[in-house]
Amino acid sequence: MNAERYARVRELFLAVDDLPTDQQHAFLVSQCGDDQTLIDEVMSLLDEHDHESARLEGNSAKQPAIPPALADSSPPESSAQGTDGHAATSNAPFLPPGQRDSISDASTSPSNPAPAASGRQPKRQTYKSGVRKSKSGSIPAPSKSAQVTQQSSQRTHASPRYRDEEPRARRHPSAGIWQTRATKHRRFNAGWLWLATILPTALIGWWTYTQVESSLRQSTANELAGVADAVRTSVDQFLDDQSRLTESWTRHRDLRDAIIALVHTSEQDDSVDALREAPSAKQIRAALVAQSKQPDIKYVVWDRTGKVLASWLVDGADVGGNVAPDGAANLARAMRGETVSFGPEILIADESGVEPDTRLPVMAEILPIHDDKGRVVATILIRGFGMYDALDQIFREASNAGGLDVYAVNANGMMVTNSPRALDWLTLGASDDDSVSCQLRVSDPGTSAASATLLASQIRRTQPLTYSVAAASSGQSGSQLAPYRNYAGMDVVGAWRWVNRWNVGIVVERTAPSAFATAQTVWLGFVALGIILTFTALTAAGRIARRTAMAQAAVHPLSRYELITELGSGGMGVVYRAKHGQLGRDTALKVLRGDRDNLEDRLRFDREAKLAASLSNPHTVTIYDYGRGDEGEAYCVMEFLKGITLYDVVARSGFQPIGRALFILRQVCDSLGEAHKLGLVHRDIKPQNIMLSLDASVGDWAVVFDFGLAKPLQPDADSYQTAETIWAGTPMYMAPERYREPNNIDPRSDIYSVGCIAYFLLSGRPPFIECDPESLFALVLTEQPISIGVHRDQDVPEPIIALVKKCMAKSVEDRFSTIDELALELDRLIALHPWSVEEARSWWRIHGAEVG
């Protein structure tokens, strides 16, 4: 069924649904002529849909009267427990680490399409290979009642999906969501057998396993954190000592006077021969050897212009040359009076043609030289006194002491010390050096055995960093006890610390099997026993059931959906991937958890579905159905999204091209524009809540989801509302006013969050990163983020910077007044920074080939 066919079926269904049953077929014949297939398709939909049952089901879902005792106190809503949308999507696939096939907890119903990004014409909503297209229809007015099932004029029926190869299920879905009465009867027959056999064993086994696992997790967490903190302290102390030691050398009179004399010689005669033959050049060498007690000490002296005045080379081959471009920044810092630590890094030949004296990593200190008046007249780089070897030894000893993998990384995710485990696990290739330092980018090789064991290969440049290194290199400290893949493709658990002073990260990891081997043995033993007992109980129950007359099954409203896998469980609901039995369409099915089936949570569940169903933009996730089963359980059927979040986009390829960022932001504005026009503020716009996929004709296609924290600007008196006493949302993407006044709902708060996403896409970093919440709040309220150009290491056009700054203005009055105004500015900039479909396809071939 193509898009035109779908539109025709939908139009006929909505028209004929309100007619008496005996007039429906005649009406279809008058409209369809001799197209019997079209008549059959519409009639099959009518057979599934019971108008009267939907009406009764909607009436039964109205909000019960609140007792007078509760009328003056409504339950507070918080970001962690009060709203399920955020909690549920945090477990959805494609949210880090290592998950796939995301879904949304909030969605929309069809309505008039909003213009696509970059002025493209909207297309009718169809689904092929998981790519979301736009749709057409009329916008239904939001309902003023509390009913949760839409009337026929608001219902949505979509054409079948083209089913791709399904991913392997992470977890088998529960078989007990909808059951016929006959199945319940069979379960009752087996109940007493289960209680007598499985339950005691399961309880004892589960208690034993949880105790063992809890003890192992705690001890592993303490071990990893303890080693990480100890190594961080040792590294910090060691590097501080090295800085103080070299500073003491440069303050010695003989060395300082020799360098000052050489500077004066250069001012009088700057020829290379004069510098090489100057007596002060030899005095510098003698003074350094005397101070360091290292006969092979290596050094380079620069004047304030970056010219090499002297070096450790006997022939002075590099004298008269200039500092390398990539070292100019460090030289400038030293000229300002700072002591700068250089490396670890493998040296390469400079412009003068002087070849490095070693192929191994080196470390050095770059120090200022002051004259008698305290002015910096020159700088000196000192190395060759064993600084790198001593640092590397700290990590080797930490690794060997506890059977751990302990190594250091820089801000680019490059391993800068030698890991004994890496030397054992990786193939070093043709290199004769027993070293991986500064040669291994610590990336996740996936499941490919070939790339997992290679030290240096082209494919590692395109792979995402491992979970721990991605966090550490972005300036974070933390730990992860859920297994993730390391650079060799092995499952590990780990802890990491970022030492900001020295711009180095410390990673401590242990293989997951060794960390939880004892718990796994206990678990497998009780599972085997449970399987034997379960088989016995089910066999006995089946025989009893065959002798029992089954009552006629009462079919559950969701029986037409086939469960594929459980995607995640949030604070209120469990979300499954499901497939419509007749239409073949993949959906995300959310069911209210049994332990949250109370008045407050049911009303909150209703409110979330109603708010999401009022939206229809093609860049907003879609709701298909909502209601309650015959036992009162609430459910919501919504669009199943395939793709990766913007968080994963940046994690895979770093900061994005300017044109691509603008193109994506324009689509986000389309989604938020419709929500704001309907008086709805999202309140949790962040990279993790925007799904990106590849559209064959448009290129990048963004979809906003998770409206679990959304709030109306003007609450409906007929709808259940929550009162907020603390802020709800993701702190680093929240507008300053959201901290000060959580109850103040302003659409410009979403504009601030869009600005944060723009900063994230353009810089590859969140605008503010801080472990302590209070410190993070202070940054958001008072400070400006680091310039985007610093992260990109390149100039960024001023209009782009101005756009981000205006979105992220501290005062709401200084921001764009509406999302539409922001969209107009994006349209203007997109014309100057285009992003083509072919560019999008090229990115997806490299970084998103596995996305369905």
Amino acid at 409: V
How high does pLDDT run on average in the chain? 76
User: Does residue 77 register a pLDDT over 90?
Assistant: no
| CA 345/CA 728 separation, integer angstroms | 44
128 annotated binding-site participant: no
The confidence band for 110, taking pLDDT boundaries of 50, 70 and 90, is very low
Residue 492 pLDDT: 92
Q: Summarize the confidence of residues 263-270 as an average pLDDT.
A: 88
| CA 94/CA 714 separation, integer angstroms | 34
Largest Cα–Cα distance in the chain?
112
Q: Summarize the confidence of residues 688-696 as an average pLDDT.
A: 91
Same domain, 786 and 660: yes
Same domain, 35 and 77: no
Q: Is 301 helix (H, G, I), strand (E, B) or coil?
A: strand
CA pseudo-torsion sign 743, 744, 750, 755: negative
Task: For residue 57, tell me if it sits in a domain.
Answer: no
Same domain, 754 and 655: yes
Q: In what order do the strands lie in the sheet with 573-580?
A: 561-569, 573-580, 586-592, 634-639, 623-628
User: Does residue 300 register a pLDDT over 90?
Assistant: yes
What the block records as the tokens of 622 is: 């879609």
What the block records as the tokens of 174 is: 């529960």
| Paired sense of beta strands 586-592 and 573-580, if any | antiparallel
Model pLDDT for residues 350-387, shown as the tens digit of each residue: 665 567 778 889 999 999 999 988 899 999 999 989 99
User: Does residue 229 register a pLDDT over 90?
Assistant: yes
Provide the percentage of residues in the chain whose pLDDT is more than 90: 33
Model pLDDT for residues 708-719, shown as the tens digit of each residue: 555 566 554 343
For residues 439 and 205, the model is more confident at: 439
Task: For residue 592, tell me if it sits in a domain.
Answer: no
What the block records as the tokens of 720 is: 């259940």
Of 19-33, 259-273, 701-715, 729-743, which range is least confident? 701-715
Range of the domain at 203: 194-237+518-535
For residues 551 and 212, the model is more confident at: 212
Same domain, 376 and 272: yes
Same domain, 646 and 754: yes
Task: For residue 215, tell me if it sits in a domain.
Answer: yes
CB atoms within 10 A of CB 558: 19
The confidence band for 336, taking pLDDT boundaries of 50, 70 and 90, is very high
Query: CB-based burial of residue 402 (10 Å sphere; 0-12 exposed, 13-18 middle, 19+ buried)?
Result: middle
Give how far Cα 54 sits from Cα of 50, 155, 355, 628, Å: 6, 11, 80, 10
**CB 225 within 8 Å of CB 507:** no
Model pLDDT for residues 802-826, shown as the tens digit of each residue: 999 999 999 999 999 999 999 999 9
User: Does residue 24 register a pLDDT over 60?
Assistant: yes
Task: For residue 102, tell me if it sits in a domain.
Answer: yes
For residues 749 and 44, the model is more confident at: 749
Residue 526 pLDDT: 72
Residue 2 pLDDT: 57
Residue 224 pLDDT: 92
Residue 624 pLDDT: 86
User: Does residue 408 register a pLDDT over 90?
Assistant: yes
Model pLDDT for residues 574-610, shown as the tens digit of each residue: 888 898 888 888 888 888 877 777 777 777 777 777 7
Count of domains observed in the chain: 4
For residues 611 and 134, the model is more confident at: 611
Same domain, 314 and 341: yes
Residue 708 pLDDT: 58
Residue 263 pLDDT: 92
Q: Which residues of 344-378 are buried (b: 16+ CB within 10 A; e: fewer)?
A: bbbbeebeeebeeeeebbbbbbbbbbbeeeeebbb
Residue 471 pLDDT: 94
Residue 190 pLDDT: 54
Of 6-20, 121-135, 804-818, which range is least confident? 121-135
The confidence band for 553, taking pLDDT boundaries of 50, 70 and 90, is very low
Q: Summarize the confidence of residues 158-183 as an average pLDDT.
A: 42
The confidence band for 49, taking pLDDT boundaries of 50, 70 and 90, is low
| Paired sense of beta strands 131-132 and 504-511, if any | unpaired
3-state secondary structure 206-219: HHHHHHHHHHHHHH
User: Does residue 558 register a pLDDT over 80?
Assistant: no
**CB 483 within 8 Å of CB 492:** yes
User: Does residue 80 register a pLDDT over 70?
Assistant: no
Task: For residue 216, tell me if it sits in a domain.
Answer: yes
For residues 813 and 421, the model is more confident at: 813
Residue 126 pLDDT: 33
- For 103, phi then psi, to 5°, come to -130, 175
For residues 206 and 227, the model is more confident at: 227
Q: In sequence order, what are the beta bridge partners of 485?
A: 491
Same domain, 661 and 776: yes
Task: For residue 185, tell me if it sits in a domain.
Answer: no
CB atoms within 10 A of CB 320: 18
**CB 590 within 8 Å of CB 575:** yes
The confidence band for 523, taking pLDDT boundaries of 50, 70 and 90, is confident
| CA 743/CA 727 separation, integer angstroms | 8
**CB 656 within 8 Å of CB 684:** no
Taking Cα atoms as reference points, which of 239, 411, 364, 363 lies closest to residue 786?
A: 411
Q: In what order do the strands lie in the sheet with 405-409?
A: 405-409, 504-511, 491-499, 478-485
Element (H, E) at 302: strand 298-303
Same domain, 214 and 335: no
Of 43-52, 348-357, 653-662, 725-734, which range is least confident? 725-734
pTM: 0.42
- Among 350, 371, 388, residue at a domain's last position: 388
Residue 734 pLDDT: 85
Residue 233 pLDDT: 94
For residues 570 and 821, the model is more confident at: 821
**CB 160 within 8 Å of CB 585:** yes
Residue 447 pLDDT: 74
CA pseudo-torsion sign 608, 609, 612, 613: negative
Same domain, 260 and 324: yes
Same domain, 787 and 762: yes
CATH number at residue 286: 3.30.450.20
Residue 203 pLDDT: 77
Q: For 678-797, where are the alpha helices, taking DSSP H only?
A: 736-740, 748-763, 773-782, 788-792
Residue 837 pLDDT: 94
| CA 639/CA 585 separation, integer angstroms | 9
For residues 513 and 49, the model is more confident at: 513
| CA 60/CA 148 separation, integer angstroms | 9
For residues 452 and 656, the model is more confident at: 656
Task: For residue 262, tell me if it sits in a domain.
Answer: yes
Residue 546 pLDDT: 58
Residue 299 pLDDT: 93
What the block records as the tokens of 46 is: 């009518």
Task: For residue 707, tell me if it sits in a domain.
Answer: yes
Residue 732 pLDDT: 79
- Among 343, 358, 388, residue at a domain's last position: 388
For residues 530 and 713, the model is more confident at: 530
Same domain, 256 and 231: no
Query: CB-based burial of residue 12 (10 Å sphere; 0-12 exposed, 13-18 middle, 19+ buried)?
Result: buried
Q: Is 415 helix (H, G, I), strand (E, B) or coil?
A: strand
Own/partner pairs, 306-313, CB within 8 angstroms, 24+ separation: 306/331, 307/266, 307/270, 309/259, 309/262, 309/263, 309/266, 309/275, 309/281, 309/378, 310/259, 310/262, 310/275, 310/278, 310/281, 310/284, 312/285, 312/384, 313/354
Residue 448 pLDDT: 64
Q: Summarize the confidence of residues 485-497 as an average pLDDT.
A: 92
User: Does residue 440 register a pLDDT over 60?
Assistant: yes
User: Does residue 193 register a pLDDT over 50?
Assistant: yes
Of 171-180, 356-365, 461-470, 671-680, which range is least confident? 171-180
| CA 614/CA 139 separation, integer angstroms | 8
Provide the percentage of residues in the chain whose pLDDT is more than 70: 73
DSSP 571-628: SSEEEEEEEETTT--EEEEEEE-GGG-SHHHHHHHHHHHHHHHT---TTB--EEEEEE
Q: Where are the beta strands (DSSP E) in 660-717?
A: 680-681, 690-695, 699-704, 711-712
Residue 532 pLDDT: 78
- Among 388, 403, 425, residue at a domain's last position: 388
Same domain, 222 and 129: no
